[in-house]
């Protein structure tokens, strides 16, 4: 999280999601590359080259690559390698949630070897023992983002159930994460145990931020899912402490009327700059207000 904190400080809080489906890839790439692996990687490489100087991180959603079999996973590996070669922080959105030896294997798979990344997403709704196997890697500079209050419309079906204490389920998880996180604070005073807090439930998000001062947030839901800039900036602390993710809104910008006629990578860059400028303007308004 120290690494992410410094990148946000330097470049702003934008996290670009590479949720790359085959149907997102323009004909200009598909006509030049026969197999799926090359098509996906060529698209991702173009997006990375166009945005690597203006984003704080990339989030790569593994499901899009698993869906295409071995070729998809090879494209996934090449994408991770390319991001790392450009020294930009990379998050694998894998949402693993298991215990004991299985969780140890997930940790090994994504914090070392072919699929090594800086941070991963984790689901701890099976209990605290789902995240314990990752601790040894956290002490070596890796990070996890634990699902806390997610951006999907029906997140409340489980997360907002009231417990015996009268609080919501996600409140209980919030307290557990905050307590453990404070034992592992880095130089930036943020824990390597981060939280996924969607910006589509702003009242919940603001309350969570008020409680979790030392937790770095991965903030999905911006743009396509309905998250608004005036809400999402409230999840940050002095413009830092979190990264705001947008995937389709950026990588599919070339399909929008606004950027019609531009190449896919040029449109992605313009859309990323627009998102960044909008959020920075909202931060400025808060500071002035």
Residue 121 makes CB contacts below 8 A (sequence gap 6+) with: 91, 92, 93, 94, 95, 96, 144, 145, 146, 147, 196, 218
Are residues 185 and 191 in contact, defined by beta-carbon separation less than 8 angstroms?
yes
Q: Could you give the residue numbers annotated as active site?
A: 95
Q: What is the mean pLDDT of residues 18-33?
A: 95
Given pLDDT bands bounded at 50, 70 and 90, which one contains residue 269? very high
Percent of the chain scoring above 90 in pLDDT: 85
pLDDT digits (tens, 9 = 90+) for 176-235: 999 999 999 999 999 999 999 999 889 999 999 999 999 999 999 897 677 889 999 999
pLDDT digits (tens, 9 = 90+) for 162-175: 998 999 999 999 99
Candidates 3.20.20.70, 3.40.50.150, 3.40.50.300, 2.102.10.10; CATH matching 2-288: 3.20.20.70
Given pLDDT bands bounded at 50, 70 and 90, which one contains residue 289? low
Query: Token pair for residue 144?
Result: 């996890």
Sign of CA dihedral 3, 51, 148, 62: negative
pLDDT digits (tens, 9 = 90+) for 95-154: 999 998 999 999 999 999 999 999 999 999 888 999 999 999 999 999 999 999 998 888
Number of other residues whose CB lies within 10 A of the CB of residue 207: 14
Degrees, nearest 5: CA angle 38-244-225: 80
Crossing angle of helices 202-211 and 169-181, in 10° steps, is 30
Q: What is the mean pLDDT of the chain?
A: 94
Q: What is the pLDDT of residue 141?
A: 95
């Amino acid at each position: 999280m120290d690494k992410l904190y410094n990148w946000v400080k330097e470049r702003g809080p934008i996290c670009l999601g590479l949720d790359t489906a085959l149907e997102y890839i323009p004909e200009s790439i598909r006509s030049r590359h026969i197999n799926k692996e090359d098509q996906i990687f060529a698209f991702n490489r173009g997006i990375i080259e166009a945005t690597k100087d203006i984003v704080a991180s990339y989030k790569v959603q593994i499901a899009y690559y698993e869906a295409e079999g071995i070729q998809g996973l090879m494209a996934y590996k090449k994408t991770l390698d390319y991001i790392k070669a450009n020294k930009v922080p990379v998050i694998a959105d894998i949402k693993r949630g298991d215990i004991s030896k299985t969780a140890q294997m997930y940790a090994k798979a994504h914090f070392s070897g072919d699929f090594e990344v800086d941070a991963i997403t984790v689901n701890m709704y099976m209990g605290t023992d789902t995240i314990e196997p990752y601790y040894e890697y956290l002490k070596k500079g890796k990070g996890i983002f634990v699902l806390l209050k997610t951006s999907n419309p029906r997140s409340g079906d489980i997360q907002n159930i009231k417990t015996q204490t009268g609080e919501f389920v996600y409140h209980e998880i919030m307290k557990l994460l905050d307590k453990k996180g404070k034992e592992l604070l880095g130089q930036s005073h943020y824990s390597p145990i981060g939280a996924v807090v969607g910006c589509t439930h702003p009242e919940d998000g603001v309350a969570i931020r008020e409680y979790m001062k030392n937790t770095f947030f991965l903030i999905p839901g911006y743009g396509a899912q309905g998250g608004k800039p005036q809400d999402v900036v409230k999840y940050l602390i002095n413009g830092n402490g979190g990264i705001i993710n947008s995937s389709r809104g950026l990588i599919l910008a070339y399909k929008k009327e606004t950027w019609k006629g531009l190449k896919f990578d040029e449109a992605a860059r313009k859309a990323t700059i627009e998102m960044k400028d909008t959020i920075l303007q909202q931060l400025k308004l808060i500071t002035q207000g």
